[in-house]
């Protein structure tokens, strides 16, 4: 069964009555997710769209989570603003150019201007979310600086819809004219094969030159400012790992999400148990926690 | 069963050197509040651990004996975050002040939580780097305190608040286990627990060590002090600069009330018709192409907007000495307020920046209606107000009017889309005001998130969320209303 709520109230009802739900935006990020059993219901937030309010002078926009990122960018561009994520039509465009606001922040993939302009955790000022029992809760405000209460919206970033369902997001925007040019190195060595498996790896700055050199024979891009490299690999190809690094992958089955840090796993398990005690929201999406 | 003071001292002295366990009236009075002095509550003991391991042992002992504990850095917090609300043990980090490692290649530094903010910058200054968060108390306030409160400062407009400068941390959980979050490589798969612990006001465990990001120091800086004939001209200038897309390093505002105090204290003069001053700083590091030119260009835009809004005088600092002089009014402003009245209360509301002109009108109206003095000195670029009410706290009627004024002020901040705290935290000071901003459902969710880390409520109890169980009866005592 698939439901596409168009209001927060409908979303709340859908979540409340579900027992084992796949929570998606429009489903464009499936290639990055862990494989899992067929859920009973699908709750798609892709119909919960539109800007609720936008104050260009304040550089703050409040948008429904199902709004396509491209649609939001277009609205912001009309006022000389944007969310500072720049991507190219180079085989990586699906990273951010497709999908919804909620879906993108739930996956939290690295982007090319992170060092200069920050990422979702820097842009999200507040959120409306639907808890596993259907209760609606808000956090944050429209102000760009705020320390009132716990930053619960930060927990939703990268949570892949497993803790609560995001309904609305208050974001700070960025003036287009002061957007820096991304410092990116394309590596498309001759004879390199572009595979279907995306590999995103971030290492310590001191390991970056070596990591990049080792990965040099594969097609992709380097983002030196954040010591991040992306490569398109054939299935089952592994690149070298470095101390303290992390990797996110697509089309690689169980390797799509590999979290081994014991403290992270311990608290992920606890967060899931407290916020979604019956394990109804995207079960298994964060691994076996 | 409640432990006696001597049982507690014995128990703690078995864990660490006995001279680092303080008790008795002097210690108890010295640690009964932080820089928010309205609410006070005495600890039974104060301990001065020197390592993560000692903190963990103390926390485990507190758990075994059901004794509440509260971490404390330098005690400069402004919302009672370090006040031991239910007594017990204050764990003061002042002996944990070591730099553990400097990694210049990865531009980060590992330090114990009790290190003073300013000392981090001192340790790396010669390499052209600094630790960016710069609260006014930075010469004494600690890294751990900055992390607990997610501290800001004048330069956070451009550089961001504490959470943007913490890469990893070591946390003694509320049950005494030691965990590490983050590291030298930021981001990554998983959940942003680091982002929750930073700003958790010490309720999610005790941060004992942290890896912080080092930021290239500016090599080109221009500071300007601009005088305006009306408050509206100054607030409009702030709104216009933000709307233009220019991000100065700092964008601070002071009104006539502050100027009077500063003029008296430091013999600084301004054009007689000045109603408000803006302090605007533009800077660039060596990583920017042509830093000097970039900064000059930015300042030209700023000057144009100031002139469009009727600036009377634009004073530019030509060198570091000049620059420091221009900053005096801002940095010493609140201290100078002490000349105007026996007591001052500084609020910390935030609003969307375009609402500044409207909000300032409210601030003056409320002060007039409640017949109390008000001065404004604040981070205008972030929309972070610091209205300072000055009054005589020996007069209960004045105290009541100040409290009423504060509540109305916060209510309007929330109505305008803002928040009741931009950087000082909620602590005990504003816990009751959380209801203005959040519904019971919102607060219940926050409480759930707190229990991810804190399930026994021994770790810094009664903070942030109003009316937590067993805190209500304590409140009267903090205020000195009951004994």
What's A38's DSSP letter? P
Q: What does the pLDDT average to over B302-312?
A: 97
pLDDT at B410: 95
Give the pTM. 0.95
CA distance A240 to A201: 10
A58, A118, A145 ranked by CB distance to B152: nearest: A145
Strand segments, DSSP code E, in chain A are 2-3, 21-24, 41-44, 51-55, 60-64, 81-82, 124-130, 136-140, 165-172, 174-175, 185-187, 197-202, 220-223, 228-233, 246-249
Across the interface, whether the CB atoms of A257 and B189 are under 8 A apart is answered: yes
Across the interface, whether the CB atoms of B445 and A135 are under 8 A apart is answered: yes
Distance, in angstroms, between B167 CA and closest chain A CA?
Answer: 12
CA distance B237 to B144: 36
pLDDT at B482: 56
**Lowest-confidence pick of A53-62, A166-175, B253-262, B276-285:** B253-262
Instruction: For chain B, give the mean pLDDT.
Output: 93
pLDDT at B403: 86
CA distance B367 to A26: 51
- Between residues B266 and A282, the one the model is more confident about: A282
Q: What does the pLDDT average to over A133-155?
A: 96
User: B409 pLDDT band (50/70/90 cuts)?
Assistant: very high
pLDDT at A20 over 60: yes
Number of Cβ within a 10 Å radius of residue B426: 27
pLDDT at A94: 59
Distance, in angstroms, between A155 CA and closest chain B CA?
Answer: 6
Judge contact between B175 and B221, C-beta under 8 A: no
Across the interface, whether the CB atoms of B421 and A148 are under 8 A apart is answered: yes
User: For B170, which residue in chain A has the nearest alpha carbon?
Assistant: A263
Tell me which chain B residues have a C-beta less than 8 angstroms from the C-beta of A141. 350, 414, 417-419, 437
Judge contact between A151 and A271, C-beta under 8 A: no
Rg over alpha carbons for chain B, rounded to the nearest Å, is 23
Across the interface, whether the CB atoms of B180 and A263 are under 8 A apart is answered: yes
User: A85 pLDDT band (50/70/90 cuts)?
Assistant: confident
CA distance A97 to B36: 48
* Long-range contacts of B392-398, Cβ-Cβ distance < 8 Å, separation of 24 or more: B392/B341, B392/B342, B392/B343, B393/B342, B393/B343, B394/B342, B398/B372
pLDDT in tens, A221-265: 999 999 999 999 999 899 999 999 999 999 999 999 999 899 999
User: B91 pLDDT band (50/70/90 cuts)?
Assistant: very high
Judge contact between B425 and A147, C-beta under 8 A: yes
Torsion angle defined by CA atoms of residues A275, A281, A286 and A289, in that order, rounded to the nearest 10 degrees:
60
Across the interface, whether the CB atoms of B437 and A149 are under 8 A apart is answered: yes
In three-state form (DSSP H/G/I as H, E/B as E, the rest C), the secondary structure along B139-193 is CCCEHHHHHHHCCCCCCHHHHCCHHHHEEEEEEECCCCCEEEEECCCCCCCCCCH
Q: What does the pLDDT average to over B59-81?
A: 96
Phi, psi of A167 (to 5 degrees): -105, -45
Judge contact between A200 and A245, C-beta under 8 A: no
Tell me which chain A residues have a C-beta less than 8 angstroms from the C-beta of B188. 202, 246, 248
Tell me which chain B residues have a C-beta less than 8 angstroms from the C-beta of A246. 185, 187-189
What's B419's DSSP letter? B
Nearest to B426 by CA among B443, B451, B444: B443
User: B53 pLDDT band (50/70/90 cuts)?
Assistant: very high
Residue A7 gets the label, from left (phi > 0), alpha (psi -120 to 50) or beta, of beta
CA distance B371 to A210: 67
Distance, in angstroms, between A190 CA and closest chain B CA?
Answer: 31
**Lowest-confidence pick of B122-136, B228-242, B335-349, B363-377:** B335-349
Sheet bearing A197-202, strands edge to edge = A185-187, A220-223, A228-233, A197-202, A246-249
CA distance B251 to B154: 7
- Between residues A36 and B27, the one the model is more confident about: B27
User: For A115, which residue in chain B has the nearest alpha carbon?
Assistant: B186
User: B168 pLDDT band (50/70/90 cuts)?
Assistant: very high
Nearest to A58 by CA among B181, B383, B270: B383
CA distance B43 to B82: 11
Nearest to B381 by CA among B193, B157, B137: B157
Across the interface, whether the CB atoms of A244 and B184 are under 8 A apart is answered: yes
pLDDT at B175 over 50: yes
Across the interface, whether the CB atoms of A274 and B451 are under 8 A apart is answered: yes
Q: What does the pLDDT average to over A128-149?
A: 96
- For chain A, what percent of residues have pLDDT higher than 70? 96
Tell me which chain A residues have a C-beta less than 8 angstroms from the C-beta of B445. 131, 135, 137, 139, 152
- Between residues A262 and B62, the one the model is more confident about: B62
Distance, in angstroms, between A101 CA and closest chain B CA?
Answer: 18
pLDDT in tens, B361-386: 999 999 999 999 999 988 999 999 99
Complex confidence, ipTM: 0.95
Across the interface, whether the CB atoms of A259 and B107 are under 8 A apart is answered: no
Instruction: For chain A, give the mean pLDDT.
Output: 92
Across the interface, whether the CB atoms of A145 and B156 are under 8 A apart is answered: yes
pLDDT in tens, B191-217: 999 999 999 999 999 999 999 999 999
Q: What does the pLDDT average to over A119-127?
A: 97
Q: What does the pLDDT average to over B445-452?
A: 96
Tell me which chain A residues have a C-beta less than 8 angstroms from the C-beta of B451. 274
Tell me which chain B residues have a C-beta less than 8 angstroms from the C-beta of A266. 179
């Amino acid at each position: 069964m698939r439901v596409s709520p168009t209001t927060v109230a409908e979303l709340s009802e859908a979540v409340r009555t579900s027992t084992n739900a796949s929570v998606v935006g429009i489903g464009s990020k499936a290639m990055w997710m862990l494989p899992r059993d067929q859920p009973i219901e699908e709750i798609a937030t892709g119909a919960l769209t539109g800007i609720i309010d936008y104050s260009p002078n304040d550089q703050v926009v409040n948008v429904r989570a199902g709004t396509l990122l491209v649609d939001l960018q277009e609205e912001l561009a009309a006022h000389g603003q944007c969310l500072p994520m720049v991507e190219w039509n180079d085989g990586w465009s699906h990273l951010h150019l497709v999908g919804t606001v909620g879906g993108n922040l739930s996956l939290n993939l690295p982007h090319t201007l992170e060092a200069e302009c920050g990422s979702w955790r820097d842009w999200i000022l507040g959120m409306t979310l639907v808890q596993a029992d259907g209760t609606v809760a808000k956090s944050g405000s429209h102000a760009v600086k705020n320390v009132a209460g716990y930053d619960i919206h930060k927990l939703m970033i990268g949570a892949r819809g497993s803790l609560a369902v995001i309904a609305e997001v208050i974001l700070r925007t960025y003036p287009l004219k002061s957007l820096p040019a991304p410092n990116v190195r394309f590596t498309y060595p001759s004879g390199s094969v572009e595979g279907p498996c995306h590999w995103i790896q971030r290492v310590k700055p001191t390991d970056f030159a070596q990591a990049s050199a080792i990965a040099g024979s594969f097609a992709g891009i380097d983002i030196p400012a954040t010591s991040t490299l992306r490569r398109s690999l054939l299935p089952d190809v592994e690149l070298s790992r470095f101390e303290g690094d992390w990797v996110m992958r697509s089309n690689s089955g169980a390797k799509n999400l590999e979290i081994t840090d014991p403290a992270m796993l311990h608290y992920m398990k606890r967060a899931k148990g407290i916020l979604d005690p019956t394990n109804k929201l995207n079960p298994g999406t964060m691994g076996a926690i | 069963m409640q432990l006696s003071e001597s049982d507690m001292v014995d128990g703690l002295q078995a864990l660490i050197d006995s001279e680092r366990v303080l008790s008795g009236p002097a210690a108890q009075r010295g640690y009964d509040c932080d820089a928010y002095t309205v609410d006070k509550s005495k600890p039974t003991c104060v301990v001065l651990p020197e390592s993560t391991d000692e903190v963990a042992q103390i926390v485990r002992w507190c758990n075994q004996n059901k004794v509440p504990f509260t971490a404390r850095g330098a005690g400069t917090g402004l919302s009672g975050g370090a006040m031991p609300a239910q007594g017990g043990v204050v764990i003061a980090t002042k002996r944990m002040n070591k730099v553990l490692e400097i990694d210049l290649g990865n531009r980060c530094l590992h330090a114990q939580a009790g290190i003073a903010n300013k000392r981090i910058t001192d340790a790396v200054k010669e390499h052209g780097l600094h630790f960016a968060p710069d609260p006014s108390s930075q010469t004494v306030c600690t890294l751990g305190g900055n992390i607990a409160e997610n501290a800001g400062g004048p330069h956070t407009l451009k550089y961001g608040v504490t959470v943007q400068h913490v890469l990893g941390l070591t946390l003694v959980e509320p049950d005494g286990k030691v965990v590490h979050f983050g590291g030298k490589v930021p981001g990554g798969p998983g959940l942003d627990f680091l982002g929750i612990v930073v700003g958790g006001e010490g309720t999610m465990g005790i941060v004992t060590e942290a890896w912080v990001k080092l930021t290239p120091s500016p090599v080109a800086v221009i500071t300007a002090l601009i005088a305006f004939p009306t408050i509206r001209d100054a607030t409009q200038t702030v709104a216009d600069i933000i709307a233009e897309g220019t991000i100065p390093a700092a964008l601070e505002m002071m009104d006539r009330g502050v100027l009077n105090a500063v003029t008296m204290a430091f013999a600084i003069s301004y054009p007689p018709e000045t109603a408000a001053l803006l302090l605007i700083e533009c800077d660039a590091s060596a990583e920017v192409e042509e830093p000097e030119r970039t900064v000059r260009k930015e300042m030209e835009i700023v000057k144009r907007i100031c002139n469009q809004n009727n600036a009377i005088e634009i004073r530019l600092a030509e060198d570091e000495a000049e620059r420091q002089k221009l900053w005096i009014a801002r940095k010493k402003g609140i201290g100078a307020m002490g000349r105007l009245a026996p007591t001052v209360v500084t609020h910390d509301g935030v609003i969307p920046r375009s609402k500044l002109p409207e909000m300032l009108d409210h601030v003056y109206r409320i002060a007039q209606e409640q017949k109390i003095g008000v001065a404004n000195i604040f981070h205008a670029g972030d929309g972070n107000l610091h209205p300072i009410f000055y009054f005589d706290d020996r007069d209960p009627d004045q105290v009541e009017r100040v409290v009423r004024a504060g509540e109305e002020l916060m209510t309007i901040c929330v109505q305008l889309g803002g928040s009741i705290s931009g950087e000082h935290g909620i602590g005990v000071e504003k816990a009751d005001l959380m209801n203005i901003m959040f519904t019971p459902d919102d607060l219940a969710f926050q409480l759930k998130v707190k229990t991810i880390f804190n399930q026994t409520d021994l770790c810094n109890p009664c903070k942030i969320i109003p009316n937590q169980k067993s805190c209500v009866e304590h409140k009267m005592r903090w205020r000195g209303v009951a004994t």
